Amino acid sequence: MFYLIALFVILLDQFTKWLIVSKMQFGDSITIINNILYITSHRNRGAAWGILQGQMWLFYAITLIVIVAIIYYLQKAAKGKWLLGVSLSLMLGGAIGNFLDRVIRKEVVDFIHTYIFGYNFPVFNIADSALVIGVILLMIQMLRDEREPKEKSYEENGTHHS
């Protein structure tokens, strides 16, 4: 099931990017919610926030290592841990989605443009969103894993802390 989540992210990401590339010119913008949300045709040849522009060989290598590591952890650590599996599958789908752009287009297609609390946030895409949500869920899972031994210790010792 976790691989289906990753596949869904990849398909949704690639479909939305295809729509942007085929229906909009670079730089075109459509207002969804004025001063908050826009669909803006943008390209990125770097990493997050446009850093490391043009370093494709680095992105290929890092992304392949990340994909292999995520698949390994999905196979080994996610069994019986739903939240961990979902977080890893979102990260896998996001990593593959942007990797496909870099391999096929030599740049990443971005289009979600937001102004959050007046801040002009960098333009991003579905793959980026899946990666961020996956990392947040992974942090929640890690916090839960950290609390679990403490709670068991309290139960075994007959103490309870709120």
- Residues acting as catalytic residues: 110, 128
93 in Cβ contact with 130 (< 8 Å)? yes
CB atoms within 10 A of CB 27: 9
Q: What is the side-by-side strand order in the sheet with 108-116?
A: 29-33, 37-44, 108-116, 119-120
- Report H helices in the chain: 2-23, 56-76, 82-104, 126-157
